[in-house]
Each structure stands twice: as C-alpha cells, then as structure tokens.
Amino acid sequence: MISPFFEINKTSTGKARAGTITTDHGTIQTPIFMPVGTVASVKTVHQRELRDDIKAQIILGNTYHLNLRPKMDIMQAAGGLHKFMNWELPILTDSGGYQVFSLSKSRKLTEEGVKFKSHIDGSAHFISPEKSMEIQRQIGADIFMAFDECTPYPCEYNLAKDSMEMTHRWLKRCIEWTEENLEIYGHKQRLFPIVQGSTYSDLRKASAEFISEQNAEGNAIGGLSVGEPEEEMYRITNEVTDILPKNKPRYLMGVGTPWNILESIGLGVDMMDCVMPTRNARNAMLFTWQGVMNMKNEKWKDDFSKLDEFGTSYVDSEYSKAYVRHLFVAKEYLAKQIASVHNLAFYLDLVRVAREHIIAGDFYEWKNSVIPVLKQRL
C-alpha cells in the first residue's frame, strides 16, 4: 500500500500535531525544521554532517539563486539538485519570489512577471510564475513553492490587497503550467501555494480561503517574520491555521527563533525554515536548551567544559567553550563551522523533542515551561 503524502499520527488538546510526510526521497517526521541550503549548500556544513550528525530530514534550495548560479543547463546535466549536491533525502525549493523583491537591485513588476537585475553582476532577467515553475521542475525538489509577491512590513492596506490578489492570479498560472508540464526526473514533485495578506486579518482570511480551495497537497504561510512584532506573527498564523485544511501539512516560511518555532507548532504549523541557526552561528550566537550563548564573550575564555553538555552533535562534546571562543576571537573559519553544526543540531533536536511531547500529550505544558529557559542569555 502506498503511504499518503501526509498523515497525522497524533493530535493534541490544542492545534499542535505530530505527522509524517512521505516523499519519493524518504519520510519526514513533523513538526520539522528545515535547514536552508540556498545555493545548494547549507553554509559551512557538509552534507554528511547534515545527514548523520544534525539529522536533517529535508533541506531547502532557492530558485532565484540556483537559476543565477550554477544555472539550469548545469542543473539538468547533473540530473537535478539531489544528484548535483549528493543529497538523497527530501528537498524543498522556494519560488524565488522573496529574493526578487529583497535582493535584486532594480525590479519592474507587471501582471506578466518581474524584470530584475541580478545582485551578482547586474545582468537583466525576467521571472514569471511559469518561469519559476520551469526552473523548479529543472531543480527537481520534492516540494516546490508557487511564485508569490512578498510585501514589505509595514504595508499599506490597498497595496497588501492588490499584491495578495496578484499572488492568487499567479497561483492559478503556476497550477496550470505544472499540470501541463510534468516532472523531469521520475520522482514526484508537489506544489505548495502561499497565503499572503500582510498583517490584515481580513486579507489573510480571504487568502487562506482561496488557497484552501485550490486543494494542493500542502499549504504555506508567507510574508511573516519580515519585521512585524512576534505577537502579530502569532495572531496571523493562528487565524490562518484555523482556515487551512487540517489534513494537509502547513509550512510557516522563514521562522524563526527556537521559541518562535515552539509557539508556531502550538498554533498548528508542521514545517518551518530559517537562516537564523546558521547566520547567528557565524556571528557567534549559539542556541541551547539552557539559553543563548555569545561565544565571543570573555566569560568563556577559561571555561574548558564541553561546548554544550546537552547537545546532540559531535561538536558539542569534542570542543570546549574556551576553544570555540578562541576560534571566534582569532577569526578562524572553523569557529563558524562548529557553531553552525551545533545550532542546526539543536534546532533539529528541538522539533524532535516537541514531537515527543505532542505524542506524550503534554506539549503545551512543556512548551510554556521551556520557552523562558530558551530565551535566557547565558
């Protein structure tokens, strides 16, 4: 018997749930955190570390970046992203919408799509819903995202409304193109649409309803974690998960801190991604079960205890706090590698333990007790 794409294994007193996603590249136990490998690499981390030590179950690639480098001729010649980067497990690709709006130097937006200049060399490019779908077929991720427009925060109501409506029209074009142009590499790909609407409840509800009607295999919530207060993010997430179908996975894009992740799980989110664990690691910020450590802090200079006695990665027991501080102060590359592996392993451990508590039936009590500890500055 073929497993369904998404199965809920356990529900809770609230919206939190434990589930299983089944793709042609393996299964994913939800709730899950997905490390970001923008240009076919999770920064400073080897694939074998991701797989064997961090225990990532799915990683992200990015359409905008991969289309500029190495370009799609190379990607297709390699046989797709899985083969190109030698990653056998599931991959999700972002549509490139967010990057076009945040990175490209100049952009001209029309109904047809977006003209923009590359952030690398200034060369002119055009991306449309159809083009984004074509690139994502060539990349070959197991889950791929609809091409959406991302509004900044704060965003004036009418602008947010117009943008959301265009995202909906673009979604129809994405669906139509993918129905007419099937997978290239022989494994199944699944398209997730994205709920938009800025911080306006009525727009978010309208978008969530429209997205639900498309009957995709999973749904995403976009346009959050862009500078709005945490309370706003939780409020919108809660309103949207009330509407999105319960039997489909829900992906909250670009979130967040360890406590954001736990709160989002509590609001019925199944999948999350963020650059925070790796980006903050490169700036010497380590997340742990005991709180947040700044590894450049003088207090660690003669602390020869393990980097993290509760950490699950090999770096946590093989290196001391004093040594990692020394590497950061000396600006050694190894510091960034150690910190990145640590933070990613912690994030994966965080969602694994959250899942255990959902199954045990005490997720909310556990979440509320652990969040104040996670936020402590050590």
Nearest to 128 by CA among 106, 110, 104, 144: 110
115 in Cβ contact with 107 (< 8 Å): yes
Angle at 231 between CA 6 and CA 280, to 5 degrees: 75
258 Cβ neighbours under 8 A, 6+ residues apart: 287, 346, 347, 350, 374
Please give the torsion angle defined by the CA atoms of residues 44, 374, 55 and 303, in that order, rounded to the nearest 10 degrees.
60
**Active-site residue, from 53, 94, 148, 308:** 94
**Active-site residue, from 142, 270, 273, 349:** 273
User: What amino acid occupies position 260?
Assistant: N
Nearest to 163 by CA among 203, 131, 132: 203
Q: Find where tokens 């999973």 sit.
A: 218
Nearest to 347 by CA among 264, 278, 268: 278
The reply to whether 273 belongs to the active site is yes
| CA–CA separation, 320 and 206 (whole Å) | 52
Q: Find where tokens 């294994």 sit.
A: 9
Angle between helices 230-243 and 258-266 (to 10 degrees): 30
DSSP state of 54: I
Exposed / middle / buried, residue 376 (Cβ in 10 Å: 0-12, 13-18, 19+):
exposed
Q: Find where tokens 């991302």 sit.
A: 150
| CA–CA separation, 23 and 248 (whole Å) | 14
Q: Find where tokens 């911080």 sit.
A: 199
The reply to whether 349 belongs to the active site is no
- Any idea which residues carry the catalytic annotation? 94, 273
